[in-house]
Structure 1
Amino acid sequence: MLLNKKISVWYFIREIKFQILFIAIFAVAIGLLDMLPWFQKISLPLNIPALLGTAVSLLLAFRTSQSYERWWEARTVWGAIVNDSRTLVRLIIQFMPEGKNQTIKDFAERQIIWTYALGESLRKLPFSTKVKQYLDQHNVSAVNIPNALLDEHSRQIREITASKELTDFQQMQLNDIITRLCDSMGKCERLKNTVFPRSYSVLVHILIYVFAAILPFGLDDSLLAVEIMITFLIPVAFVAIEKTSIIMQDPFENGPVDTPMTSLAQTIEINIRQMIGDQNVPLKKENTSYYEM
């Protein structure tokens, strides 16, 4: 997630450098073509490229709006995960009888690992050492590790209820939290696996280049450099807006505009360890970069 301080302009330029190069070549070629005697006779009313530019703007506005909605939904879901993780451990602490510190610690450790494992699986990264050590120690293996950890939550709740250490009402409350965590996980997986239609990007790119192709024929031919510059700058602005929406549309792509799942998992770990009275509470390092993961 981008932080409200310095932002790397070079990161964004690197993302669209090939499009900038292509548009520059395209603008020079169209500008020189417009200077040929036969093409100089062609003059289009400026309303025509203006109308096409308006259409491109509307399409880009829709694309950016949809991408932002996906990004914001991901952040909202992870906000719910933070709250439900705290609530789960708080209820476990409240419901467990005296002397059940190990049971409380089991739930707390599992929930901490669940948050890290969910973030890493959404980014399709290898599990971190912290997660691997826990999985090996507790013999957890499954195709969907976060779901398997929630299954372990449910199994242990069922065992505790069977031993009469939890009432049916308390079990229902805890199961409700587990259900909400599972719903949040499913929403994240839906966002990750639902791809924005590629045909939409193709249509936008075609319209941008058609706009760049006809724009010089609606401008004054007396100043070639100005004509080329305008033909270059406006399509670059359109491409930059479209690239911004593409970057935002997948909030779990392991990039600077990601939902900061690792940072949120660290916050959850710190909160949970403080709640259970753990003496080994990790410190959250201050981020010196322009984004956090």
Structure 2
Amino acid sequence: MLLNKKISIWYFIREIKNQILYMGIFAVSIGLLDLLPWFRKISLPLNIPALLGTAVSLLLAFRTSQSYERWWEARTVWGAIVNDSRTLMRLIIQFFPAGEDKIIKEFAERQIIWTYALGESLRRQPFSDRVQNYLDEHQIKATNIPNALLDVHSQRLRNIAFSKGLTELHQLNAVIMRLCDNMGRCERLKNTVFPRSYSILLHTLIYVFAAILPFGLDDSQLAVEILITFLIPVMFLAIEKTSIIMQDPFENGPVDIPVTALAQTIEINIKEMTGDQNIPVKKDNSLYYEM
């Protein structure tokens, strides 16, 4: 996720470097062709590229809005995961009497591993050594590891309630259900792609606009014509690329939801709540984003 720091403009330039090159070649080529008398006779009324540019602007505004909604929903879901993780441990500490530190630490460790496993699975990354070692140690194997860890939560609560005669654990089950719901919302955002047909239409319209724009401009000032032919389409392409990046909030990039940083926050909070002395310290981030 981008932080309130100076953003590297080179990151965005790298994302659209090919489009910048194509637009640069096109703008210079059109400028050179305008030196030919017969080519300068080809012209269009300015209101035609203006009308198409307006249509592209409206479509880009909708695309950017929808992409931001997806990103913000993902951030809201992970905010709820942070809160529910704290609530789960607070209830665990409350319901289990003194002397049950082993049970409390068991749930604490599993919840911490769950948050890291969920973030890594959403990013389609191999599990970290810490997560994999926990899975191997407890012999947890499943297609959906985060879901399997929540199953272990539920099974352990059921077994403990039966063995100890506890009957008021419905609040804990409700928190686990919320964690499961939020996990499902993250998976929906990850697996539901933005309509490809809309992206193709918008991309095509931008290039059509770029192609007809120079024919509606005044040919008397060649440098200005080349600059406008290059600059306006590149701006449209940059906005489109920004929305494309933002629409996938779990792609392990700078504009990603910082699932690793949030998992570290959850780990610190849980360990402080359970009295664990081995509390990790967040390192100062010198970058313009955090993961």
- What is the TM-score when the length of structure 1 is the normalising length? 0.97
* Alignment check: 8 A CA contact 1:208 1:238 kept: yes
Confirm whether residue 288 of structure 1 aligns to residue 289 of structure 2. Answer: no
1:187 match: 185
* Alignment check: 8 A CA contact 1:49 1:211 kept: yes
Alignment of 1:274-285 (within 5 A): 274-285=272-283
2:240 match: 242
Say which is worse superposed, 194-203 or 12-21, in terms of deviation.
Answer: 194-203
**2-structure distance, mates of 1:165, 1:87:** 22
**2-structure distance, mates of 1:59, 1:35:** 35
Which of 227, 230, 236 aligns to 2:228? It is: 230
In structure 2, the residue corresponding to 1:287 is in which secondary structure? coil
Change beyond 3 A, Cα 1:18–1:224 = same
Equivalent position amino acid for 1:67 in 2: S
Shift of residue 263 of structure 1? Answer: 0.3
Alignment of 1:2-81 (within 5 A): 2-81=2-81
Shift of residue 182 of structure 1? Answer: 0.3
**2-structure distance, mates of 1:264, 1:141:** 25
Which of 252, 261, 265 aligns to 1:267? It is: 265
2:88 match: 88
* Gaps in structure 1 of 5+ consecutive residues: none
1:144 match: 144
**1-structure distance, mates of 2:43, 2:110:** 70
Confirm whether residue 99 of structure 1 aligns to residue 113 of structure 2. Answer: no
* Gaps in structure 2 of 5+ consecutive residues: none
In structure 1, the residue corresponding to 2:169 is in which secondary structure? helix
2:204 match: 206
Shift of residue 35 of structure 1? Answer: 4.1
Shift of residue 198 of structure 1? Answer: 1.9
Say which is worse superposed, 202-211 or 92-101, in terms of deviation.
Answer: 202-211
**2-structure distance, mates of 1:70, 1:32:** 44
Shift of residue 30 of structure 1? Answer: 2.8
Equivalent position amino acid for 1:17 in 2: K
2:174 match: 176
* Alignment check: 8 A CA contact 1:28 1:228 kept: yes
In structure 1, the residue corresponding to 2:275 is in which secondary structure? coil
**2-structure distance, mates of 1:241, 1:290:** 20
1:112 match: 112
Residues 9-44 of structure 1, C-alpha deviations (whole Å, 9 max, x = no match): 111111100010011112222333344333322332
Say which is worse superposed, 219-228 or 29-38, in terms of deviation.
Answer: 29-38
**1-structure distance, mates of 2:75, 2:95:** 30
**2-structure distance, mates of 1:166, 1:239:** 60
2:214 match: 216
Kindly tell me the number of residue pairs found equivalent between the two proteins. Answer: 291
In structure 2, the residue corresponding to 1:277 is in which secondary structure? coil
In structure 1, the residue corresponding to 2:11 is in which secondary structure? helix
- What is the TM-score when the length of structure 2 is the normalising length? 0.97
**1-structure distance, mates of 2:38, 2:191:** 51
**2-structure distance, mates of 1:159, 1:20:** 61
1:133 match: 133
**2-structure distance, mates of 1:187, 1:239:** 30
Shift of residue 98 of structure 1? Answer: 2.4
**2-structure distance, mates of 1:79, 1:58:** 31
Shift of residue 222 of structure 1? Answer: 1.3
**1-structure distance, mates of 2:54, 2:131:** 50
